A and B are shown apart, each in its own frame.
Chain A
Amino acid sequence: MLDAKTLGKLQDQALELRKMTIREIGHLGSGHIGGSMSIIELLTYLYYHEMRIDPSDPKKVDRDRLVCSKGHAGPAVYATLASKGYFPEDWLLTLNQGGTRLPSHCDMNKTPGVDFTTGSLGQGTSAAVGIALGQRLLKQDARTFLIVGDGESQEGQVWEAAETAAQWKLGNLIAFTDFNKLQLDGWTDDIVSMDDIDTRWLGFGWHVQRIPGHDFNQIAEAVERAKAVLDRPSMIILDTIKSKGFIPGEGICANHSMAFDSEAAEKAIAELEARTKGGKE
C-alpha cells in the first residue's frame, strides 16, 4: 500500500498529465486520445515512483528503460517526459507538426527520454526483450518496462517476443497490457477477442497478474510482486478504460483517435476537474 501522501501526489500528477495530454492533442486538433488516457496512471507510477532515471542525463547507460510498444500513445508519453523535465513543456504544442520532435509515434532519435522507436505494432516487444537481454549481458542493475496494447496483442510478433523472453528467463522485464477492450475499428471482442489474455501469457511461461489499471495501490503492489519474480518475465494486465478522463471519449467506440480543438479541450478539462473535485480522478 502506498502511504496517503504518496498516493495523493501520484493522483495529483496523473490529473496534471491528463490535462497536459488533452491540451497537447487539442492544440493540434486531433490525435490518439483514447489509448493515451488509458495509461496515464501507469506512466505516472513508473516515472514518478518506480523507474531509476535521470531526466538531466536521458542517455544514462544503466538507467531503467521503458518501451511504449503501442507507439500511438506518444502524446501521453510526451506529457510525462515534459513534466519530468526531459524537454520544455511548450514542445507539447508542436505535437505532429512539421519539423516537430514529438511525432505521432514514439521516436528515440527525436525525443529526449524515449528509449525505443515504436509505431509498427508488435515491434516494441522484441526491442524490449533485446534491451532486457542487453541489460543482463552488461550486468546492469536495471529493468525494462514494456507497454503493450490489447489490440496490438493480435500481432504475432508479440508472441514471438514472449516466447524468447520466457526462454531466456528475463526477470528484469516487466510488461503491462493496456487492456482497454477497444481497438481502432471497435470492441476487441467483436474483432479478434483478447478475452483470455491472462491465460495466453501464462501459457507462454510468464508471471501474470491482472489488476484494475487506474488504481495506484494495485499498480504499486503488482509491480512489487513482479520485481520479486527473478526467473521469469512478468506481465501485468491492466483493466483500463479507453479515453479515461477525457470524458467526451469515455464509453464510445470511436475514441481511438478523435478530433477536437483547444476550446473543446478546455471544456473537457473543466468537466474532468468538476468530476474529480479538484484532485482525485
Chain B
Amino acid sequence: MVAIEDLAAEHPEVVMLDADLSSCIGSSSFQKLYPERFFNCGIAEANMVGVAAGLSSMGLVPFAHSFGCFSSRRAYDQWFLSVGYAQQRVHLIGTDPGITAQLNGGTHMPFEDIALMREVPGIYVIEPSDAQSLYELTRQAYATGKSSYTRVPRKGATHRYPVGTKFELGKGIVLHEGSDLAIVATGEVMVNAATKAVETLEASGVHPMLIDLHTIKPLDTELLEKAAKQCGRMLVCENGRYAGGVGEGIAAHLARTCPTKMDFLNVGERYGEVGKLPYLAQAFGFTPERIVELAEGLLKN
C-alpha cells in the first residue's frame, strides 16, 4: 500500500477501489489519506473492475483490490473486455495467492489466476517476492502506462532486498550464480523455499543458479535462455497451477529457442485446502526438501 500511497501523493489521478477487503490489504490507510479518491465498491468485484474501467476512460488511474480468486476468476470477463479489450489502464491487485490464503481455504485459494492473467494481451503480471521489490515494481508498473495484475500476499512480507536495490520490471533477478541447473522461482513462498534449497544443494556440491522471476508477463526470455544454455537443466517453482502457469510458459518458449530438460513444482490438478502455511507447504510439496529432491532428480538424467 505504501507504493500506491506514494504514487497517489505524486499523481492526483490515482484512485483506489476495494471490494470490502480494505482492512485486509490496508487500503483503509489510503482512504484516510485521500477519502475523496477511495471507493469501497462492496462485495461486487465484477462491478468494481467495470467501474475502474470507466474511471480510467476519464483519465484517472485506478488501483483495485480483492483476494486473487475474486480479482481474477470472478471479474474475468470485465477485466478482459472492459479493461483489456477496451484498452483501459487499471492496476488490479490479487492478494492471498496460492497457499498464502491459508485459513480461508480452498474457496479463497487462487492458483489459476496466473494462467488467466497471462491470457490477457498487453498487460503486466507481477509477483514480487518481498516488500522492497513490491514497492519498486508497483511504481514501475504505474510508469508503463499499461494495466497490470499483481499477485501478492497480504501478510508478513519478507524483507529480502535492501533499500536501493535496482529492479527492472520484466527482468528477473539472479539471486545465486551456478551452472549445474537453473531454479526459477516466482513469488515469496517459492523464492523463500528455493533459497533454502540452494543452500542444501551447495552443501552437497551442486551449484544451482537461482532466479527470482518477479515478472510473469512478459517473461524475461533473455535471462531464461541464458540460464538454460548455461545450466542445461531447469526447475520452475510456482505457487500456482501447471496449466497456463509460469513453468508452462517458459517451457513453451524454450521448446522453440533452446530445448532444455525441465521439471516443475506447482499444484498440478489439485484444488486448494484449508490450513496454516507450514501445513500447506508440506501438503503441496512447496518445501526446500521437495525442491532439492526435484533438482537431484533432474541432475540424474
Q: Identify the A interface with B (CB < 8 A).
A: 61, 67, 107-109, 115-117, 119-120, 122-123, 125-135, 137-138, 156-157, 160-161, 163-164, 167-168
Contacts and interface: CB of A to CB of B under 8 A. Distances in A.
Contacts of A108: 57, 86
17 contacts: A109-B87, A115-B57, A116-B54, A116-B57, A117-B85, A117-B86, A123-B77, A126-B50, A127-B86, A130-B50, A130-B55, A131-B57, A133-B55, A137-B37, A137-B55, A163-B42, A163-B44
Contacts, number: 103
Nearest to A155: B46
Nearest to A61: B59
Given A130-B57, A133-B51, A134-B57, 19 more contacts: A116-B57, A116-B86, A117-B85, A123-B50, A126-B49, A126-B51, A126-B78, A129-B47, A129-B54, A130-B52, A132-B54, A134-B55, A137-B36, A138-B58, A160-B47, A161-B50, A161-B51, A163-B44, A164-B44
B41 interface: yes
B60 interface: yes
B81 interface: yes
Nearest to B53: A127
Given A123-B78, A160-B46, A130 B87 contact: no
B284 interface: no
Contacts of A130: 50-58
Contacts of A120: 77, 81-82
A128 B55 CA distance: 9
Nearest to B62: A130
B15 A137 contact: yes
Nearest to B86: A117
A123 B81 contact: yes
Contacts of B47: 126, 129, 157, 160-161, 164
A124 B51 CA distance: 9
Interface string B66-104: 000000000001100110011100000000000000000
B167 interface: no
Interface string B207-246: 0000000000000000000000000000000000000000
Those 4 A-B pairs whose CB atoms lie nearest each other, nearest first = A130-B54, A126-B50, A134-B58, A160-B47
Main secondary structure of the interface of A (DSSP, over half): helix
Nearest to B15: A137
Nearest to B50: A126
A168 B55 CA distance: 14
B39 interface: yes
Contacts of B44: 160, 163-164
A113 B47 CA distance: 24
Contacts of B51: 126-127, 129-130, 133, 161, 164
Nearest to A126: B50
Contacts of A61: 59
A157 B41 CA distance: 12
A123 B39 contact: no
A167 B46 CA distance: 17
A198 B87 CA distance: 34
A76 B150 CA distance: 40
A138 B59 CA distance: 10
Nearest to B87: A109
A77 to B, nearest CB: 16
Nearest to A128: B54
Contact of B46 (A126, A128, A129, A138): A126
Contacts of B50: 123, 125-127, 129-130, 157, 161
Nearest to A138: B58
A126 to B, nearest CB: 2
B55 A126 contact: no
B82 A127 contact: yes
Contacts of B49: 126
Nearest to A158: B47
A135 B54 CA distance: 10
A117 B64 CA distance: 20
